[in-house]
Amino acid sequence: MRLLIMGAPGAGKGTQAVGIATHYGVPAISTGDMFRDNVKNGTPLGKQVDAIMKAGDFVPDELTEQIVADRLDQPDAQGGFLLDGFPRTMHQVDALDDYLDKHGHSLDAVISLDVDPEDLIARLLKRAELEGRADDNEETIRHRMEVYTSSTAPLLDAYKSRGLLVAVDGNGTVDEVGARIAAAVDAKVGR
Ligand code: ADP
């Protein structure tokens, strides 16, 4: 099973990604988590992306694509994966297509997690209190929303025209939304 999960900042991608990946027995691969781990551990990559992430901007495509390719090359991702937070630009879509083509693979479904826009900011501000993520302050949140709308939301149309999009209502409890995603993906892939 090769899946993507997309959604605005605060839509709950990360939380749902873990549950869905477990459900299908594939690793959840989050670019945001990989970058945050590098920042936390002070690696050269972490030093390169720290300021970019704090500002809510995108890490450069080539760098992000390389990190994802390296991760997808790992043994645990050979039977499938759920990518969370990638692709975020058309350039990244093309890079992922090239990678999958080269390996004779293709995507099974692209989950779009849709949450009412008014709820997103409230969720992120609450997460800021609970987790203290460096990019969860009001100014950066607003910027990440704009970047999502202008750069990433258009990718949904691209996947929709390929017949891959599975749009799921992301409003509700974690369990409700998780059950909805599993049902929608099962229906899509014919399980
Ligand atoms: P959210 O969706 O809540 O903004 P993520 O954890 O997915 O959070 O991403 C956090 C940050 O990591 C992004 O704002 C960006 O700086 C960086 N990042 C994650 N994925 C990508 C990507 N595919 N391309 C570029 N930058 C990325």
Model confidence pLDDT, tens digit, residues 40-64: 999 999 999 999 999 999 999 999 9
Regarding the domain delimited by 2-189, which CATH topology (the fold level of the hierarchy) does it fall under?
Rossmann fold (3.40.50)
Considering just the CA atoms, what is the radius of gyration of the chain in Å?
16
Q: Point out the ligand 1 atom lying closest to the alpha carbon of residue 10.
A: 3
What does each of the 191 residues of the chain score in pLDDT, given as a tens digit? 999 999 999 999 999 999 999 999 999 999 999 999 999 999 999 999 999 999 999 999 999 999 999 999 999 999 999 999 999 999 999 999 999 999 999 999 999 999 988 889 888 988 888 988 888 888 899 999 999 999 999 999 999 999 999 999 999 999 999 999 999 999 998 87
180 dihedral zone (left: phi>0; alpha: psi -120 to 50; beta): alpha
Distance 188 CA to ligand 1 centre (A): 27
Q: Which atom of ligand 1 is nearest to the CA of 57?
A: 16
- Where would I find the H helices in 83-150? 90-102, 117-131, 138-147
- The structural domains of the chain, with segments of one domain joined by +, span 2-189
168 sits in the region (left: phi over 0; alpha: psi -120 to 50; else beta) called: beta
Residue 165 parent element (H or E): strand 165-169
What phi, psi does 78 have (nearest 5°)?
Answer: -70, -30
